[in-house]
Amino acid sequence: MAIRKHLIGLILLAYAVTLPASQDSDFIGARKAFQDGNGKLLDDYARRLQHHALWPYVEYFQLRMVLRTTDIAAIRNFLSRHEGNLVADRLRGDWLRILGKNQQWMLFEAEYPFLVNRDNELTCYSYQQRLSAKDKEVLTEARSLWFTPNSMPDSCTPVFIALISGGKISREDIWTRIRLALEEGQTGVATHINRHIPSHEALNSTDLNNAAKNPLRFLDTHKIKTRSDREIALFALLRLLRNDTDQAYAQWSKIKGQLTASDRSYFLARLGHRAAMRHDPRAPGWFREAQNTDKPYPPSDTVLAWQVRAALRIADWDMILKTIDRMSATEQQIDTWRYWKARALKVKGNIPGANGIFIPLSDEHSFYGQLAKEELGSILSIADKTYRVSHNEVSAMERRPGVQRALAFSRMNLRTEAYREWIWTIRDFSDAELLAAAEVARRHGMYDRAINTANRTVSQHDFNLRFLSPHREALQKILRQHQLDEAWVYGLIRQESRFIADIKSHAGAAGLMQLMPATAEWVAKQLGIQNFRQNIVVDVNTNLRLGTYYLKHVLGTLDNQPLLASAAYNAGPGRAKRWRDNTRPLEGAIYAETIPFNETRDYVKKVLKNSMYYARVLDHGHDSPTLKERLGVVAAK
């Protein structure tokens, strides 16, 4: 009898283990049936999934397939039962698109206020609904959508037509958007917007195509007479400027007399922008010339940011202060510009003004927050306000339906769906709830979610969750061979992959340390790995072994400076070398801020900031380097 009970217990245990796996397989099948439009097969799967954590999504799949023809009661029943969940917001958004397209404005008006995730298409449908209701405020609100270089959804077209006919978008506003589009190379968008210009004034499509194909020939052969000619000439100059500053400047010198003062200011600012990105010493002069005209063209925040960076390379603190003050109020509040404004004030002897910026900035857990702290003579401390979640908090969090859905998606390797469900679930969490959720994610191997969730806390923190250190035993063995700084390597891996072992980038980089195939193959040869295959790069130990070898190699070729090696790891050693100054040494923070690639600039700052926190979390002692010491001074070429 006892043996029989034991066998029954084993059978039940085996059934309990295999049931989630089989149901996960059924959900994958249901999802595929939905994507293929196979309603009958979807219904077959649905009958087996009613107790699965993702049952609401199966219901969504079924209803979504008949959304255009189903009755309103069925839709509202679903929304009511799942109110507050992501799946309800998704269905509401889908329904609103149908309502907007069919101009069913009464229903649209009733449902739209409850939608959380909004986009430009739905926003424009909302504006259409309000226009139909004679809402006078809508034209003023909708105007901001116009000023973009990008294509906008079809639902925005009636709104824009109403703005133009109502005088809220002027002829100059239309030309402004055409210029924005051409500046980004969006000739299709420019041509589309061109329809709102009278035909006798509009862009000449043949000239535009010729300028796009061969800007140098166009500028050499075309006479500038009209507004259309000027805009296309500026477009051609910008095309040249993308590849060659000198060639663009030479052509500019030939035609500048045919342009207006505002046009000249516009191009000079962009000439300065491109030159600053190339660390060309002429950039500051071109920026100044752009403003010293009768009608200076209003510079964008991006242009002004590069004017500041050009000024940093030559330590022109007056220009730094003046340029930051010209930025938009929103841009000036970014930690980057608050820090450099405070540094400029300090250099100019305004210590109270500088400290008035440094003190609040030093409380922020960012690259510039840490540098501000060091300017005030403080060292990084992470012991204050540490919050440790209890076992009961974690258990309760794990039982939340939204968390269970995110875990189920993650278990099936549906990362995008897991990410969306997770972000929705934690969106209004308190600090304690965020940390409990982060701990759940850590325990389930969702290291990226654990880190990003712990990063959201405002006043109560757990830096052991913000700066996780998985695979430490394996990594330490490898690091001892190369004598690499553990905190720096962890800071780099955290930025590269968030510790997702099998992740691959669009460019093909793989694994914890995001090795490109050619790099992995080269390192494997150096290490004498026989029969190397790219599929082993995602193995944790292999990836760490290859990645740390390459990192040590890069570090040795770049003056043993982690700053330069971090830049090289992301953008290549050749670029990291080229970004040094020709004649003078550069403060490390200035080198980092003037990296021309947005991705690499952000990457380097985060890696070095991460290393500071890892030094504390991994208990490397208080004698570890400061951030300024880690950044160092970058020697001239």
Active site residues: 496
Number of Cβ within 10 Å of residue 353's Cβ equals: 15
Inter-residue contact 617 to 469 (CB < 8 Å): yes
Q: Is 270 exposed, middle or buried (0-12, 13-18, 19+ CB in 10 A)?
A: buried
Radius of gyration of the chain (CA): 29
* Rounded distance between C-alpha atoms, residue 111 and residue 100, angstroms: 11
Comparing C-alpha atoms, which of 521, 498, 517, 496 is closest to residue 508? 517
Amino acid identity of 269?
A
Look up residue 635 and give its DSSP letter. Answer: P
Kindly list the distances between the CA atom of residue 113 and the CA atoms of 87, 101, 429, 569, in Å, as whole numbers in the listed order: 17, 18, 22, 47
* DSSP per-residue letters across 296-356: PPPPPHHHHHHHHHHHHHTT-HHHHHHHHHHS-HHHHTSHHHHHHHHHHHHHTT-HHHHHH
* Rounded distance between C-alpha atoms, residue 454 and residue 129, angstroms: 40
- Cα angle 242, 338, 381 (rounded to 5 degrees) comes to 115
The beta strand positions in 160-316, using DSSP E, are none
Inter-residue contact 205 to 191 (CB < 8 Å): yes
Please give the structure tokens belonging to residue 201.
């004034």
Please give the structure tokens belonging to residue 361.
């900035």
Number of Cβ within 10 Å of residue 613's Cβ equals: 20
Look up residue 515 and give its DSSP letter. Answer: B
Please give the structure tokens belonging to residue 233.
């000439």
Comparing C-alpha atoms, which of 285, 290, 265, 266 is closest to residue 275? 285
Q: Is 137 exposed, middle or buried (0-12, 13-18, 19+ CB in 10 A)?
A: exposed
Kindly list the distances between the CA atom of residue 13 and the CA atoms of 5, 16, 50, 174, in Å, as whole numbers in the listed order: 12, 5, 21, 69
Residue 265, C-beta contacts closer than 8 angstroms, at least 6 positions apart: 290, 291, 293, 295, 296, 297
* Rounded distance between C-alpha atoms, residue 467 and residue 387, angstroms: 14
Look up residue 69 and give its DSSP letter. Answer: T
* Rounded distance between C-alpha atoms, residue 571 and residue 599, angstroms: 9
Number of Cβ within 10 Å of residue 128's Cβ equals: 22
Look up residue 636 and give its DSSP letter. Answer: P
Inter-residue contact 248 to 237 (CB < 8 Å): yes
Inter-residue contact 434 to 456 (CB < 8 Å): yes
Kindly list the distances between the CA atom of residue 120 and the CA atoms of 155, 312, 528, in Å, as whole numbers in the listed order: 8, 38, 54
